[in-house]
Structure 1
Amino acid sequence: MSFLISLAVLSALIFFHELGHYFAARAMGVRIEVFSIGFGKKIASFNRWGSEWRLALIPLGGYVRMKGQDDSDPTKKSYDNDSYNVKTPLQKIFILLAGPLANFVLAFFLYFVIALGGPNILSAVIGKVVENSPAHAAALETNDTIRSINGVEITTWEEMAKFIELSDGSLKLEVQRGKEIKQIILTPKITQTTNIFNEVIEKKMIGIGSAGVTHKLNLGISETLSYATKQTIFASTLIFSGLKKLLFGEVPANELGGVISIVKLTSDASEAGWMSVLFFAALISVNLGVLNLLPIPALDGGHIMFNLYEFLFRREVNEAIMIKLTIVGWVILFSLMGLGLYNDINRLIG
């Protein structure tokens, strides 16, 4: 059941991406010949609104085939009034941007729904106290709750960690231990740790771990909008940072995941409840939006790059060069997919 939920989530995200292209193209007067969820052999289809709506065998993507545009053969062009080829570079860029934009909008909506439902967030409750750390020296204990730092109220673990990381000098902690309130003074020290990309970094810490206690965030309308905006921006920057680190070798290539990882993580999220599914779906949606903006000819970003060239230099990219770049783009894309699949299989075997 969880596997089917994973496929349904992935297909829905792809559907919204392609729907963005579809509506933008229709708005620009371009005919959509095929709207497909999945690749390969067609297993079901119907014709409506001048397009063939298709479900294909391999549910690992999707596409809209516009009149005059075919990634499998860039030489296939049409110069009819309802063709993609007769549109201006800016109109084409608008159509191309609409897919990734739909993913960002969908992610914002999902984060908004999560915020309305009251997302769970880590409380500032101490679990492990590291020996010979500032926290250990100050006699902090497991299950202590940090209520404030230097007079500033602390409500979440994230707030506490950020305050400590950016601190300068000693800190005065108000700590609740059972029914007792204690005032504790300590000084953070720079310590080696790992970040979300598994890189070794140094930052100010006091030597405590979370107890895993959570509480619900009760947000008003303005706070809900702020939460959705911040989460969408954070997810986008996180993915951009991860791609940059992979590109420059700061993160090993074996950290790259493929479709099996996506299905497995979505499956795990479904077992944790609908809130986890929505949260992970929002993250994948942002991921799809960001990845499709990469300047790889087989992706939206590559086509945007070609149209920017045409807009700036008032001429189309040489057809032979475009074909070669498109082939290179497909090679890069399939190589990345193959590497992700290889890493997924290694993790499963491991």
Structure 2
Amino acid sequence: MLILEAKLKGKTEQYNLIDEAIRTALFVRNKALRLWMDVKGSDKYDLNKYCAVLAKEFEFAKKLNSQARQASAERAWSAISRFFENCQKKVPGKKGFPRFKKRGHSVEYKTSGWKLSDDRKYLTLTDGFKIGRLKLIGSRDLSFYQVEQIKRIRLVKRADGYYAQFCVDVERREEIEPSKTTIGLDVGLNHFYTDSNGEVVENPKYLRKSERQLKKLQRQVSKRKKGSANRKKAIKRLAKKHLQVSRQRKDFAVKTARCVVRSNDLIAYENLQVRNMVKNHKLAKSINDASWSMFRQWVEYFGKVFGKVTVAVPPQYTSQNCSNCGKQVVKTLSQRTHRCGYCGTVLDRDHNAALNILARGINRVGHTQINAWGEFDLCQVDVSLVGKLSR
């Protein structure tokens, strides 16, 4: 699946109707979740059937397209199934019990309730809310696909306007020449990552750089009277700044991940539990600002696109063990240089960890020598086989 996004341009009345559709979708989602809580043994199909009952019972719910109501119920079931999966896997800590949501930011349509113009410049919503025709800004990429390939459309509300996301049923594959190189990545806070070649990428720290402006905008919100028009304007300015920071993070993660994957045939990285790491309140802001999880997601995505091997390895003792002799050299967090008293190796702490990560990654895919490309070619290994090869 490929997600394409375009900004929506319309009238204020149309934006208000989109807000109403979003609230209705949220209402259906919460009602479906309530049904699962009240009626023991309810499954995904029961939640979908309940959507028709809600349409008969509530007039405003009937305005929403029938498939859009089902998509909202599917969101509730997605939270329920994730909770069951965490329970079965015995995930430590909270299992993520489904909760009711107070605010919604999107409504999702399937194959009905909308119509796309032939030139792909206008989107018309035809359900009971009568939102009407909206102009699509930045929809050039839609011209490369047939309307039948668009399986879902999501209307999203953000601080700077409304957007339409198109879910296109297409297999994205790009063939590139093998680089016959491997790399291990050790992410950190001083540097975004240090690779096994000793090269570093600086941490952009977008939140830290914008913190002064964010605090100023937050003070403006606090000074305004609750419920006033000026307070709403101040809240919007603050939300736009937060949106800018999040987009900067995403742009950096996408471009860096793409560059790493294109340049190497095997990428090894740590399987970090970021959710547990942010419990350290002294480092939580810096860890969230680094966006390690987003970077990992895009590395794995581009690995599938370009046919490269991406493997996550256990992070235990990657910083403590010597990458040359394998002996354990205990270091505190403040010690940034690895000095091995057994073999005399002196390396930067993160460089040493990256070498250990690369060695573990190669072992997990069953390859013992970095340059032994013979019959077993790393660039031909399917990503889904990585777990099998490690056994």
Same fold by TM (over 0.5)?
Answer: no
* Structure number with higher strand proportion: 1
- Please give the TM-score of this superposition, normalised by the length of structure 2: 0.26
Q: Which one scores higher on RCO, CA 8 angstroms, separation ≥ 6?
A: 1
* Structure number with higher helix proportion: 1
- Please give the TM-score of this superposition, normalised by the length of structure 1: 0.29
